[in-house]
Amino acid sequence: MSAELVLYTYFRSSAAFRVRIALNLKGLHAEHRFVHLLKDGGQQFAAKYGELNPQHLVPTLVHNGRALQQSLAIIEYLDEVFPAPPLLPGDALGRARVRALACAIACDIHPLNNLRVRKYLKMGRSDAEIRDWQAHWIALGFAALEAMLANSEHTGRFCHGDAPTLADICLIPQMANAHALEMDLSAYPTLTRIEDAALALPAFSNALPKKQPDAE
Amino acid sequence: MSAELVLYTYFRSSAAFRVRIALNLKGLHAEHRFVHLLKDGGQQFAAKYGELNPQHLVPTLVHNGRALQQSLAIIEYLDEVFPAPPLLPGDALGRARVRALACAIACDIHPLNNLRVRKYLKMGRSDAEIRDWQAHWIALGFAALEAMLANSEHTGRFCHGDAPTLADICLIPQMANAHALEMDLSAYPTLTRIEDAALALPAFSNALPKKQPDAE
């Protein structure tokens, strides 16, 4: 079993955090291999890692020897191959809603703030300016998410109903990033309520960066 | 029929371009309503549009009165509700590959370069610096995509096999953006070959920005 699933991960990566949650929710064990994004000039840039992930990003999930990239694609795959418990609703409109919530984070917040973008932005900018850049995109995205969640009859204990879905899997790592920036999240009561519900589950709390063996 | 599907679109939006291609591939007609992202301080910021799309982004697709957001979520929905022709492969590994290619564009290139980010970046930067920023992320993403496509036995006439998928639907609008920046694309022969194959199909070429009624 341990050789069947191998996760290339970095404790601070939000995208790896998502896949860790999905694996935990499915009750799947993956062997973790650690890719330190800052050591050795970035271990993700090693040629050997590039064979598994030509974007040189984490995570990569290897299943039965086949390398899969991109956290959303990996989680959809896990949901298809290991269907219980489902990470997407049973109806097409529900799936569209959950995927839209996930993409509002995974396309429109996180990619603007990840390590490679911060490094590229840094040229000529102060740490405070970088912090403001990150907080700007999180606040903009969270305001939309709060509206999407607070105004919908489909929102329950979690983003969609009373069980975790792909939307929660994306939300919780993004909340962790907001906390790391010490942002005031009082304008997003639905998001913080859902975060509390999620972190009460070991599948989410055991996937937190600080709980990982490679945490510093 | 025309009232059943309504697409809120802007000719220059890559994300709307994707949905236009998907609708065309499915042979679906949607009534187009135009949201000009620059006029009136940005028509997407109107409160009425925000009820359909709390992120104030295009596109929004309304199907039988239900508003759907986020191009990837919309296209997955269309593929589920109108299954022929399929926009995803029939096997889980194939779907994972196509979704990873799509996300490499829709998460890791396009969100860094879209209008709202360019506007935010603009503070204190020259037009040339903004252009370099856009070209940087496209070149980085295209290099990875070229490797993912050129080195795979699954690549055919299109990104995955010989029929268009979600990956091509994301690639062609991103290629259009690269052309608009007058980028040298000679390092990406597989991408340009696939672009030629796609634009030979009316479903793709009729979705081009310049073919839209709101084009300027």
Tell me: pLDDT of B203 over 90: yes
CATH of the domain at B154: 1.20.1050.10
Distance from CA of B85 to the nearest CA of A (A): 17
Give the domain range for residue B70.
5-85
In this structure, is residue B196 part of a structural domain?
A: yes
Q: Are residues B58 and B116 in the same domain?
A: no
What number of H helices and E strands is found in chain A? Answer: 10, 4
Last residue of a domain, one of B85, B114, B138: B85
User: What are the tens digits of pLDDT across the range B8-43?
Assistant: 999 999 999 999 999 999 999 999 999 999 999 999
In this structure, is residue B177 part of a structural domain?
A: yes
| In chain B, % of residues over pLDDT 90 | 90
Q: Are residues A50 and A140 in the same domain?
A: no
Last residue of a domain, one of B85, B105, B134: B85
Q: Are residues B76 and B102 in the same domain?
A: no
Q: Are residues A179 and A123 in the same domain?
A: yes
Q: Are residues B64 and B130 in the same domain?
A: no
What is the number of structural domains in chain A? 2
Whether B108 contacts chain A with CB within 8 A: yes
Q: Are residues B165 and B193 in the same domain?
A: yes
The predicted pLDDT at position B120 comes to 87
Last residue of a domain, one of B85, B115, B148: B85
Whether A157 contacts chain B with CB within 8 A: no
In this structure, is residue B211 part of a structural domain?
A: no
Tell me: pLDDT of B123 over 80: no
Please give the structure tokens belonging to residue B54: 């709390």
Low-confidence ranges of chain A (pLDDT < 70): 1-3
Residues in B touching A95 (Cβ below 8 Å): 73, 76-77, 80
Q: Are residues A100 and A66 in the same domain?
A: no
Q: Does B107 contact A106 at a Cβ distance shorter than 8 Å? A: yes
Q: Does A73 contact B120 at a Cβ distance shorter than 8 Å? A: no
Please state the pTM of the whole predicted model. Answer: 0.97
User: What are the tens digits of pLDDT across the range A45-86?
Assistant: 999 999 999 999 999 999 999 999 999 999 999 999 999 999
In this structure, is residue B208 part of a structural domain?
A: no
In this structure, is residue A216 part of a structural domain?
A: no
Cα atoms in the 13 Å half-sphere on the side-chain side of A126? 3
Q: Are residues B22 and B73 in the same domain?
A: yes
Cα(B3)–Cα(A214) distance, integer angstroms: 54
Please give the structure tokens belonging to residue A17: 């955090």
Choose among B108, B124, B128: nearest CA to B170: B108
Whether A70 contacts chain B with CB within 8 A: yes
B177: enclosing H helix or E strand: helix B166-180
CATH of the domain at A18: 3.40.30.10
Tell me: pLDDT of B90 over 90: yes
> Phi, psi at residue B68, to the nearest 5°?
-115, 140
Choose among B138, B121, B122: nearest CA to B179: B138
Q: Are residues B66 and B98 in the same domain?
A: no
Whether B69 contacts chain A with CB within 8 A: yes
Q: Are residues A19 and A64 in the same domain?
A: yes
In this structure, is residue A140 part of a structural domain?
A: yes
What is the gyration radius of the CA atoms in chain A, in angstroms?
17
Q: Are residues B133 and B76 in the same domain?
A: no
Q: Are residues A81 and A157 in the same domain?
A: no
